[in-house]
Structure 1
Amino acid sequence: MKKIIFLLGIFLTFAIVACKPEEEVFYDGDSYVHFQTESQNVFAVAGTPYTDAKIDYGTVQPVSGNHQVKLVLDKTKSTAVEGVDFQILNNNTSEIAAGAANGQFTVRVMSATMSQTPKVAVFKIESPTIASAVFSKQLTVNMSLTCPVSFFVGTGIFKNTEAYWSTVGKNYTLQNVTTGGVNQFVIKGYMDDGGDLKVNYNPTTFAVSIPVQSTGYFEPGYGYAYASDPSSGPASTYNPCTRTLSLKVWWSIRNTAGTVIAQYNASATEVFVGQ
């Protein structure tokens, strides 16, 4: 019995020691300044003069006194040009206040010089009074142009620049509608019976799909002509910045059951460009 008690005593002692809270660890060294991330994407919005982006930085521990911190472009690693493609506001300088451990710079990206192909700006962070950390001391910012759907639609007038079903050079009105959570571009009066050609689009991936829909044209001896997605091959897309809608359309004939019984073109190209 004593042996059992002795072993139990050892177990309780071990359990008490094991459950002892860990002592907190305190850092009492230099502050060391660093970026909060090592890469960042900034999108300038077409139709606006510029976009202001925040660049975050921090220190290992809160600073004593106020300090100036500078954001410096590494020209040897960058394709973006300071003063042309972007500006760093407040003379490239940010101040981190006493007791703080983080701060921000503001970089103004100019829409006029941006495209959908990113320009790269590689930054270093420097301070005359705070040493730089050995980590996150370089930040790569990818700057490019993005265009909202409203920019794509523009005046709503689109020219059919490449056509199989309709006439090259003809202008149509394009509308942007959302029905039941589905985003659609509606090309007014495109179909043979005066109806609209409707295509679904994804504003994130710019992918386009074409629901099965009648053109209103009846092929004697066969049936009505329809538009739909091709069964294979390239998909339809749109480019919001160039304002180009590129459709790949399967023009076919279907019977009353909806079965394809003949086709005009399995993957015809129809291109519409905003005017």
Structure 2
Amino acid sequence: MKNIKFIVSLFLLGLFVFSCREDHTEPVYNGESYVHFNEGVVKSEFVQIGTASKDVVISYGTIKPVVGSHQVKLVVDPVKSTAVAGTDYEIINGTDEITNGEVAGTFTIRMKEPAVPGVTKTLVLKLESSTISTAVFDNEFTLNWKLQCLINNFLGTGTFNYAGWFNGTGQHMIEEVPGQPNTLRIIDFPTIGTNFVFTYDEAGLVSFEPQDTGEFHPTYNQNIMLRMSQSNFANHGNSTIDMCARKLNLRVNYYVSAGSFGNQPETFTGF
């Protein structure tokens, strides 16, 4: 009898849970679709020297699938933009059609190769549609780009003028490290017989591992070491490389076991 009552109780409990699930409904958004940029609102690009141009795809979307067909336009804000149509960019497709059930679309912009190194072109864009309202968020997109020179442009003859904290002034050769992508070395720096090795990325940021300078400090009875700029010292900042300007700006922290000599500037300029 107890077993029968137990089975009946489980059955009734199951019916109760099932009926609760059946009655429960998730909240559903029934508002407008609202169009907006859906893959971030800022994009920074480079156009490689000698390539003339580079195409970039800009994506947009809606909060929910649209009903029917709608035309969405990409509109340039001429006040906030520094890039000039025809000279700096070309809109390959500035009008897109999003159809029934879709939630996203794309535009294509051709960024032209900047004539002046170091100058950033800026294009501020907005979305416009006569049938879909624009969302109050992600409704403005900023596209930035500048000229990207190659490592051969930076190296030139390989000879660079030096000015800095460790050695004052001089000249040094800079060359690629064979078999190591995005890696360079400064010959006989900081001291003769030592080569300073560093890496760089597409954005021009330089990084390096702690290294021995080869300079013996008699007070501490050890060689002076170097490392990247340390945030707990004055003059903290990033080390950078400008391929077009042929300039390497290092921010180096020299140290021994007893302490640091601080963050020091070391600059190499090609000629």
3-state secondary structure, aligned to 1:144: strand
3-state secondary structure, aligned to 1:19: helix
Q: Distance in 2 between matches of 1:106 and 1:118?
A: 17
1:14 aligned onto 2:16? yes
Q: Hey, what does 1:206 align to over in structure 2?
A: 205
Q: Hey, what does 1:54 align to over in structure 2?
A: 57
Deviation per residue, 1:19-51 (Å, 9 max, x gap): 328679999998765433461313123424333
3-state secondary structure, aligned to 1:20: helix
Seq. identity, %: 24
Residue type of the alignment partner of 1:41: K
Deviation per residue, 1:160-200 (Å, 9 max, x gap): 24145557352423324676x9x74311244654x242233
Residue segments in structure 1 that go unaligned for 5+ positions in a row? none
Q: Distance in 2 between matches of 1:53 and 1:175?
A: 31
Greater mean deviation of Cα atoms: 226-235 or 43-52: 226-235
Deviation per residue, 1:131-152 (Å, 9 max, x gap): 3344557232231337477367
Provide closer, same or farther for how the CA distance between residues 145 and 177 of structure 1 changes in structure 2, counting only shifts above 3 A.
farther
Q: Distance in 2 between matches of 1:38 and 1:125?
A: 18
- TM-score, normalised to structure 1, is 0.65
RMSD (CA atoms): 4.8
Q: Hey, what does 1:43 align to over in structure 2?
A: 45
Provide closer, same or farther for how the CA distance between residues 14 and 164 of structure 1 changes in structure 2, counting only shifts above 3 A.
closer
Deviation per residue, 1:77-128 (Å, 9 max, x gap): 44444334322114x233446765432110122341684757351322335x
1:89 aligned onto 2:95? no
- Tell whether the 8 Å contact from 2:56 to 2:111 is kept in structure 1 after alignment: yes
Q: Hey, what does 1:228 align to over in structure 2?
A: 226
- Tell whether the 8 Å contact from 2:206 to 2:241 is kept in structure 1 after alignment: no
Provide closer, same or farther for how the CA distance between residues 57 and 268 of structure 1 changes in structure 2, counting only shifts above 3 A.
closer
Q: Report deviation, 1:237.
A: 0.8
Q: Hey, what does 2:270 align to over in structure 1?
A: 274
3-state secondary structure, aligned to 2:22: coil
Residue segments in structure 2 that go unaligned for 5+ positions in a row? none
Aligned length: 259
